[in-house]
Amino acid sequence: MATTTNYGWATPDDTALVKDGAAAIRTLGTSVDTTTKNLNPSTTLGDIEYRSSTANTNTRLGIGTTGQVLTVAGGVPSWATATSTAGLTLISEQVAAASSGIDFTSISGSYKQLLLVWSGAQHSATGSSFTIRLNADSGANYAMVGAYTAAGGIGAGGANNTSIFVGGADYAAFGQDANSSALYAPATGTLLIDNYSSSTKLKTINGSWGYFDNGLGGVRYVPAISGVYNSTSAITQLNIVRTTGSATLTNLANTSIRLYGVN
């Protein structure tokens, strides 16, 4: 009986009898089915195959878990937990579009620090201020000090606050009345949170930013803050919240809000 070149499937000879056709087709179909399954042993969404040491038979590699990377061990592919390397990992990048608030939730605890970087966050109107909270906690658990420089003067303060505000809205992390469309004018800044994933340590907060207060006729504010989030709970949420007014946040063209994990 003849066979195919690559997989050796049995096919009828040219001289085979027509009456044996059904059996020949069935035999060929079974062979094709067996070979196909051998080459594609996947059973689950995300599975992949690789060539085994047996000809025409692949080995199934089940899907890994979140965060795992494909590596090689013992000469074959396998999934492994990603090795932590120094540097920044972009967790999420968002472009605000008429947002009254932005929550980053389910933040992985696999980094040493969190870094929030934003630019071009423009208010839709004057009359509003935005700040940042952690784990949606609005209790007086933010022991903050800070100072700001502004065109109209300087200020300094400190208190146990209900957000990373130091005092009044002069320290607003995402600006106060920052509705100018000039690129330098909307809220721009950085915030670093250390020990964020610890369930035993308090969280250290440091940040600086700038914005253009259009409600006061155009006063540039540059606050710098430092403090402690007085909680031993791991941070899994970072919340940009509106504290006054009804304005919304929209990123100017080619600007965004980025949350990084730092190792």
Partner 1 sequence: MKTIINCETNEIVERELNKAEKDQQKIDELAVNAAKAEAQKKAAEKQAIADRLGLTADELKLLLG
Chain residues that interact with partner 1, rule: CB under 8 A:
66, 91-92, 94, 96, 98-108, 129, 131, 138, 153, 155, 162-163, 165, 167-170, 241-245, 248, 259
Least separation, in Å, of the C-beta of 134 and partner 1? Answer: 14
Least separation, in Å, of the C-beta of 13 and partner 1? Answer: 57
Is the Cβ–Cβ distance between 102 and 249 less than 8 Å?
Answer: yes
Least separation, in Å, of the C-beta of 143 and partner 1? Answer: 16
Least separation, in Å, of the C-beta of 102 and partner 1? Answer: 5
Least separation, in Å, of the C-beta of 221 and partner 1? Answer: 13
Q: Which is nearer to partner 1, 57 or 124 (CB)?
A: 124
Q: Which is nearer to partner 1, 29 or 139 (CB)?
A: 139
Q: Which is nearer to partner 1, 82 or 182 (CB)?
A: 82
Which phi and psi angles does 156 have, rounded to 5°? -150, 155
Q: Which is nearer to partner 1, 30 or 138 (CB)?
A: 138
Write the DSSP symbol of residue 66: T
Write the DSSP symbol of residue 246: S
Least separation, in Å, of the C-beta of 27 and partner 1? Answer: 48
Task: Give the number of other Cβ atoms within 10 Å of residue 221's Cβ.
Answer: 25
Least separation, in Å, of the C-beta of 219 and partner 1? Answer: 13
Q: Which residue has the tokens 């906690």?
A: 137
Which phi and psi angles does 19 have, rounded to 5°? -65, -20
> Is residue 263 helix, strand or coil?
coil
Q: Which is nearer to partner 1, 77 or 101 (CB)?
A: 101
Q: Which residues contact 198 (CB under 8 A, 6 or more apart)?
A: 232, 234
Q: Which is nearer to partner 1, 104 or 229 (CB)?
A: 104
Is the Cβ–Cβ distance between 138 and 160 less than 8 Å?
Answer: no
Q: Which is nearer to partner 1, 201 or 258 (CB)?
A: 258
Task: Give the number of other Cβ atoms within 10 Å of residue 144's Cβ.
Answer: 22
Task: Give the number of other Cβ atoms within 10 Å of residue 206's Cβ.
Answer: 15
Q: Which residues contact 62 (CB under 8 A, 6 or more apart)?
A: 44, 46, 47
